[in-house]
Amino acid sequence: MANKIYKGVGKGESLWAAIIERYGNNEAPQITQWIEDQQEAYMDSEYDYDRINIIVWDLKNRHLIKFLDKIGVDISNEAWDITNHNHTLKKWIKDVKDKNIIYIDRNTLILWMKLAKTENDIAAMEELITAFKNDLEGEREHWAYERAGEEFNDWIQDINTNVDQEVAEFFNVPLEIEGVEIEGDEFDMSEVEFCKNCNEAIIVANMKENYKDGSDEEYDEGYFYCVYCGQYYQYDEEHCRLNKHIPAHIIIARRV
């Protein structure tokens, strides 16, 4: 069985195998990079609500809960219905227009502060804003990393790790095979072709000799022989599509 040599990754029967076998399941730089990229995404305002929800309840500030209730905020819902404050809020934010819903994020905290009128309300909002900033600079990163790791484990279940293209797209890495390793020896891609039946790499220069070892019939140069699965077929379009690393005119010339 042959191992493919993937540029920038290493050797393996598949791209996924090359990643895992070289570095280990949780140490591969491709996996680390995916998790870190997702962690960075979780630091964006799009995911603020999850943290704000936690912070509000962790503060245990009854003045804050009463204030949020007063301005129509259901902290268990990521969307804030501003129907009762529409006229006032439109003076502050141009993109609200006729919408009555605002999704809760760091910018929403500023709006809440503007609606705070009493000393208790203002103090409660100041505590919330401070707690949010501290979280953003501290616990948020740890939370984001853990969530990204959990997401990786969930999403990878939907990837067919036997299909190189799917793995390459998932990790957003180029798919480039530099060569193959067969029985411990490395070969350039120009020296091998893949069988359309079993997808194994075959050393073209050895096909004729391998065929003679297993058959009494004369080898036809216009045919491809796979020593692994025994398939012996004439070069065709399907074979050309599988072996795009070999110029089509070279393969076609063998049929003449």
Residue whose C-alpha is closest to residue 125's, from 185, 202, 68, 42: 68
Q: What pLDDT does 93 receive?
A: 63
Cβ of 237: how many Cβ atoms within 10 Å? 11
- Which pLDDT value is given to residue 25? 63
- Classify 175 as helix, strand or coil: coil
pLDDT value at residue 119 = 97
Could you report the per-residue pLDDT of 132-183, keeping only the tens digit for each? 999 999 999 999 999 999 999 999 999 999 899 999 999 988 899 999 999 8
- Mean pLDDT of all residues belonging to the chain: 89
- According to DSSP, the residues that pair with 223 across neighbouring strands are 234
Higher-confidence residue of 102 and 62: namely: 62
pLDDT category of residue 23 using cuts at 50, 70 and 90: confident
Place of tokens 């890495």: 173
Percentage of residues in the chain with pLDDT exceeding 90?
60
Q: What is the pTM of this model?
A: 0.71
CA gyration radius for the chain?
30
Instruction: Say which amino acid occupies 91.
Output: K
The tens digit of pLDDT for each residue in 90-117 reads: 666 655 555 678 899 999 999 999 999 9
